[in-house]
Amino acid sequence: MPPCEKPTGTNVAFSWEEIRKHDSEGDAWVVMEGKVFNVSKFLNDHPGGSSIVMGHLGTDIGEVWDDEDYHSHSGSAKKILQKYCIGVVEGEECNSDGDVVQASDALLHSNGARPPLSTETKDGFLKDIDWNKPIVLQVGHLGTNYDKFVHDPLVLDEPARFFEWDFFEFFSRTPWYVVPMVWVPVVCGFLVLSCKVGLTPVEAATGLFGGLCLWTLMEYVLHRFVFHLDDAVQFSYASITAHFLLHGVHHKLPQDPMRLVFPPVLTSFFLALTWYFVRAFFSVPWTHAVTAGGLAGYICYDLCHYYLHHSGIPPLSYFGRLKRYHLAHHYKDHKLGYGITSKWWDIVFGTLLDDGPAPKAKAS
């Protein structure tokens, strides 16, 4: 479903008696500023985890929304919330347009219809895209509006449609489990090959560890200097489209589970570059071992990245801190906080992001 600033058509008025009935994970309503929101589909994608919201279902969340010690919201949070608006509170004022009728007199539609967005242009470039159509071939027409567009995040109920052709659409979607399924055997193969062409098991393990350490720096460098060329790519249709496929889509749709981990084809390209880069400094046996370590580091990175976006509140405090830190990169300041699996290189290079206090669990 595309973004929706306010409920379309008729606004339905709900009584508090009705609202309080919707207080379960599969039937989750909340109230803010006199509006009623059905957040059932959003709970699992909430950046702070569903548990933060669960204790407040069927209630007015206005006070807790503004509580920075509980959970800090970004500037885009309210915009994301608006698309789940289903009506207003009976007898209360709200910031909502349209005619208000009683719930018993109106049929509430939530069929995922996608109203077309404006395609007005500015300086010859699109200001937005039409979410009713496949999106990839549209983003290149955003021109100098691309950077602003891609860092205004949306949370959709379903993965966005990339291509009109099913063949390309299939390969644009990568479930998280594809990463270990494809690449763990390759890591093992590199290690076995390194031993066959000259390394001892101890030397191969040393190369593996060295590659893991190398990956932590590669993770930072790629994220900061390649993935975040947002301003620099706005000179052509092709460069914008390529950047969107590489990383821009993840900032526009940070909770899209099918566009979070790297597709194997793209990983293969970076793997080949890594092998030849390492080969410039090491012999072939050591290159195999170090590349295995780098690839193992990548596997940990991609799985960790997926976990941070879709885990709720992780049970281990380390991952809880990482989740808060990484989501601050998405929703607060995308020009800081480039580390995913650790903050180490952000500290070294002065790009550490202040992610604020940890969220506190509150009783209902």
109 is in an annotated binding site: no
How far apart are alpha carbons 83 and 63 in whole angstroms?
Answer: 21
Sign of torsion over alpha carbons 98, 100, 103, 106: negative
151 is in an annotated binding site: no
DSSP string of 115-133? PPPP--EETTEESS--TTS
CB 260 within 8 A of CB 309: yes
310 is in an annotated binding site: no
288 is in an annotated binding site: no
251 is in an annotated binding site: yes
Per-residue H/E/C for 326-360:
HHHHHHCCCCCCCCCCCCHHHHHHCCCCCCCCCCC
How far apart are alpha carbons 119 and 122 in whole angstroms?
Answer: 10
326 is in an annotated binding site: yes
334 is in an annotated binding site: no
- φ, ψ for residue 92, nearest 5 deg: -115, 150
46 is in an annotated binding site: yes
Distances (CA, A) of 210 to 207, 221, 269, 284, 297: 5, 17, 21, 15, 10
329 is in an annotated binding site: yes
Query: Which parts are annotated binding residues for heme?
Result: 46, 73
Query: Which parts are annotated binding residues for Zn(2+)?
Result: 223, 228, 247, 250-251, 305, 309, 326, 329-330
Query: Which parts are annotated binding residues?
Result: 46, 73, 223, 228, 247, 250-251, 305, 309, 326, 329-330
